[in-house]
Structure 1
Amino acid sequence: MSTHKLYLEALSALSGCNVEATTGPSQLTSQDFVNIVALREYYKQRGLKELPYESLGSLSLENVEDQDMYSAQLALTGEGPASSLKPTARINVQDFFHPEFNYDFTNIKDGDKTFLRGNEKYTRPCGWRRIALRVLEKYDNNHWLGTGTDAWPVSYHGHNMDGSLGIILTHKGSPDDNPSFLDASAASLRSPDTRGKGVYSTPDIKLAEKYCKTFKSSVDGKTYKVALQNRINPQKRKNCQREDIWVVYIPEDYTDPQRKAIVEEALRPYGLLLKQV
């Protein structure tokens, strides 16, 4: 059970919700978590303070989740001011996780080995532990999750992969460069199908790590980084100037349900990644 508590803390850190265990039906699916993580950053790009999400009401986009909480001790017990600003989401850990497909990459180094998913290079998350999510038979088929040519490529999503990555549309500088002067340049590169802000992810786990969430666990007192391992629909993404960033654009005039639908068409999570700091 303590292991499950650690996983719940990781989900809490990623989503900004208080994630608790339940023996009943899960309130959120694994797809909901990638929706929330991606749309949180999208709504921040738009300067909004809340993310409306069915079954949760409104999710605050303030930086409460970035406080050093002794992370989910507050979140899971409901104590303290941080948790009071967060909605609670309950999941059934037996239905949510798929331990048969867990994989520990902590001490693995791939070197020059090449792996493919969807006929594209797959950089495995070496140095991380992958906690598998139960996604088999959850979609119209399982081909997207395979290793063949019709599989979707792998992408990683860090908690803070937001609009600051607009820098990728203009030059190949460091992802830590100040993007404040680049907005006009980025806008000038838009075409009709890229008009609007979007959701970013990367095939490079090392880049995702720069933007991922860090939390201190109440289970073992250790500090962890957390990220999502996804598959991305190759027909829905756009290549940016930097080869290690993909963006899924969301048209400016779309409604909240349409924005959620775009994310669901483009990104499917299958692994929760943890790395001890």
Structure 2
Amino acid sequence: MPDPRVLLEAVSVLSGCQVESTSGRSQLSPQDLVNIVALREFYKQEGFRELDYPSIGTMSLHDPDQDDADLYSPAPALTAGPGPGPARQPERNRVMLNPEDFFHPQYDYDFTKIQDGGKQFLRGNEPYVRPCGWNRAALRVTQLHEGGDAWLGTGSGAWPVSYHGHGMDGSLGVILVHGGEPQDEPEYLDAAAASLTEQRTHGRGVYSTPDVTLAEKHCKTFRSQVDGKTYKVLLQNRINPKARASCQREDVWLVYIQKDLNHIQTRATVEQAIRPYGLLLKEL
């Protein structure tokens, strides 16, 4: 298992919070982490400046971390409110996390020296590209969901694997095959023709990918205050195939979020669609 202190730094970078160790109860669960990562990106797409999240409070959506910067370096100034106004430094929300109830070392896996080559793996009868070159710290997610842990397995009832990299949003140029409504799936050519006449070509929602190489291009990078090393960080998830919208890009998966949903319904949509199980680190 990587140094737990470095793992907490990685959680800080992904969540945008100041995460500190505690021997008490964690304020964040692994599901909370993927919710926050996904919702921060989604609400930034929607033009919001803040995110309200239970047990944490109001979080700034301004990203204080810069690639290859010290983890806790001062954040750039952010203008408060629309129009002219004083600049302010967005503060990180302080969050306490107990590594013992957040991580699950029994299921850690070090892929740093593994090369799969032509080997093929399946999860939920779909190709699984293992994160070769990365070190995975397992998250404590077993025996938490109704229906057991089949979603986390390797058989036909398992959910496919996806990776979430920071900055994965509509800029990826995704065009929905279904034209924007998850239940409607016209043929590819019809959707492509519609995209030429409609302004709405990007999917509205939360993005991830089955391709760890693509996710790496959009991941966060930080320099650890613990060991002075620089790391890339990703989340490894399982995605509910029933909640995944079809796109013309096979290497991008979208959880579509309807426009009429409130904040609670939006969070519930993410929770029903994406479940994290690994925190991935790669040393540069």
- The TM-score normalised by the length of structure 1 is 0.86
The answer as to whether partners of 2:176 and 2:247 remain within 8 angstroms in 1 is no
| 1:115 Cα deviation after fit | 0.4
Q: How does 1:78-89 map to 2 (within 5 A)?
A: 80=74, 85-89=91-95
Q: Share of identical aligned residues, percent? A: 58
Structure 2 partner of 1:39: 39
Bigger-Rg structure (1/2)? 2
SS state of the match for residue 51, structure 1? strand
Match for 2:70: what amino acid?
Y
SS state of the match for residue 142, structure 2? coil
- Cα RMSD (Å) of the superposition? 2.4
Distance 1:43 1:272, change over 3 A: same
Structure 2 partner of 1:209: 216
Q: How does 1:9-20 map to 2 (within 5 A)?
A: 9-20=9-20
Structure 1 partner of 2:53: 53
| 1:188 Cα deviation after fit | 3.0
| 1:187 Cα deviation after fit | 8.5
Distance (whole Å) between structure 2 residues aligned to residue 187 and residue 86 of structure 1: 43
Q: Which has the higher helix share?
A: 1
Distance (whole Å) between structure 1 residues aligned to residue 155 and residue 283 of structure 2: 32
| 1:219 Cα deviation after fit | 1.1
Distance 1:189 1:155, change over 3 A: farther
| 1:253 Cα deviation after fit | 1.4
Structure 1 unaligned spans of 5+: 75-79, 172-183
Structure 2 unaligned spans of 5+: 77-88, 178-193
The answer as to whether partners of 2:175 and 2:202 remain within 8 angstroms in 1 is no
- The TM-score normalised by the length of structure 2 is 0.84
- Matched residue count: 255
Structure 2 partner of 1:92: 98
Structure 1 partner of 2:260: 253
Structure 1 partner of 2:232: 225
Structure 2 partner of 1:188: 198
| 1:195 Cα deviation after fit | 9.6
Question: Higher mean Cα deviation, 229-238 or 194-203?
Answer: 194-203
Match for 1:98: what amino acid?
H
Distance 1:67 1:153, change over 3 A: closer
Distance (whole Å) between structure 1 residues aligned to residue 196 and residue 28 of structure 2: 35
Tell me the alpha carbon deviations over residues 223-247 of structure 1, each in whole angstroms, 9 at most, x when there is no partner: 1000000000000001211111100
Distance (whole Å) between structure 2 residues aligned to residue 170 and residue 187 of structure 1: 14
Tell me the alpha carbon deviations over residues 105-161 of structure 1, each in whole angstroms, 9 at most, x when there is no partner: 001110110000000000000000000001111111100000000000000000111
| 1:45 Cα deviation after fit | 0.6
